[in-house]
Structure 1
Amino acid sequence: MTSTETLTGERADLLQSLGKHRHFLRFTVRGLTDDQARQRTTVSQLTLGGLIKHVATVEAAWARFIQGGAELMESGFGDWEDQHRMNADETLAGLLADYEEIARRTDELVAAVDLDSAHPLPVAPWFEPGVSWSARRVLVHIIAETAQHAGHADIIRESLDGQKSMG
């Protein structure tokens, strides 16, 4: 399959769920200026622009994992602190465009990949040593990560100007 528009079954379900959470995350930053997207509104260091950047970076890294394992995942990951921060030379529009391109590539990957293909997880304190994840498991993780951060974004946005993604 080459088109995500013709997907059915499990692949369609995975992409529909991921698309819903991506939508809520993007919807949360509607109408914001770059300065607002950089603003901290809680005791956390998280900002709306930083969350968009982080979710995009992590989705791209996990997509690389699906394609080639931990070594490929870690290439291009960049500085951990920087991936959570919207820098002065970045715009919200630019971060959203980057995220949209990453989402498009991930969707194409889901359409083509063997969902049972698996790779050993990278060595990290939060992963059990020697465990492998299938492409399917990675996609479930990307969905969960996106949903979790969409919730964080909703709290930050409500603290910023009272706007909510839902409700």
Structure 2
Amino acid sequence: MMIASANVPGERETLIEIYGDQRKALLVTLDGLSEDDARKASTVSELTLGGLVKHLTNLEKYWITTIAEADPDSEFDVAGAENAYTLTDGDTFEAWLAEYRDQAQRTDEFIATVPDLDLLIPVPTAPWAPVRQHHTVRRILLHLFRETAQHSGHADLIRESIDGQSTTTTMASDANRSSDRA
């Protein structure tokens, strides 16, 4: 038996779709937050929703640059990552949220156009990874997806601690409203 594949998306489209779904879940979690709430550490952790958005934005920039520049001598800038999870005095939640959305678009465009998902990229060395490794573009992208999923879970817990909003409940309510209008 042969299955028709006329409308089956390719790998790149699937990667962009799955990443987009994960980002959407994160953005639902962040919807309607005030600047104060975005800076609030509402759990035993010091993580904040604004800090997570900043981190995820910079994470995407970092890995897309790592792929695009493919520097065999690169090293992770530990000092530069000092405030990776913190909104500093010069930061605003709204600015980082806008940058996150812009970076998402740039990352999607990169995924759509990168010449070879199997290309081996030298991964920057770091104190926790002193031996140079090489990963495919695909593996690096999947790492980004995993990081976003993990931090989306963190964000959901932080948001629930702030005001009781649950991303899953919000998305289910939105889906029910959409089906009622159809």
Q: Which bin holds the TM-score, normalised by the shorter protein? A: 0.7 to 0.9
- Flag structure 1 segments of 5+ consecutive residues without an equivalent: 1-6
Counterpart of 2:155 (choices 146, 153, 156) is: 153
**Runs of at least 5 residues in structure 2 that lack an aligned partner in the other structure:** 1-7, 170-182
What's the offset of the Cα at 1:120? 1.7
TM alignment of 1:106-125, pairs within 5 A: 106-113=107-114, 114-125=116-127
Structure 1 residue ranges (4+ consecutive) displaced by more than 6 angstroms after TM superposition: none
* Count of matched residue pairs: 160
Larger Rg: 2
Of 152, 161, 164, which residue of structure 2 is paired with 1:162? Answer: 164
Q: How far has the Cα of 1:73 moved from its partner?
A: 8.2
Matched, 1:132 2:134: yes
CA distance in 2, matches of 1:30, 1:48: 11
> Is contact 1:42–1:159 with CA below 8 Å preserved after alignment?
yes
Measure, in 2, the Cα distance between the counterparts of 1:51 and 1:159: 15
Residue in structure 2 matched with residue 59 of structure 1 by the alignment: 60
* Whole-angstrom CA distance in 2 between matches of 1:29 and 1:20: 14
- The 5 A counterparts of 1:6-25 are 8-25=9-26
Question: How far 1:130 sits from its partner (Å)?
Answer: 3.5
Paired residues of 2:75 and 2:126 also in contact (CA < 8 A): no
| Cα gap change, 1:18 to 1:9, in 2 (>3 Å) | same
Paired residues of 2:50 and 2:96 also in contact (CA < 8 A): yes
1:100-142 deviations in whole A, cap 9, x for unaligned? Answer: 1111111111111111112121112544723211111111001
TM-score (normalised: structure 1): 0.87
Which residue does 2:85 correspond to in 1?
A: 84
> What TM-score do the two structures reach when normalised by structure 2?
0.80
**What RMSD in Å do the two structures reach over aligned CA positions?**
2.2
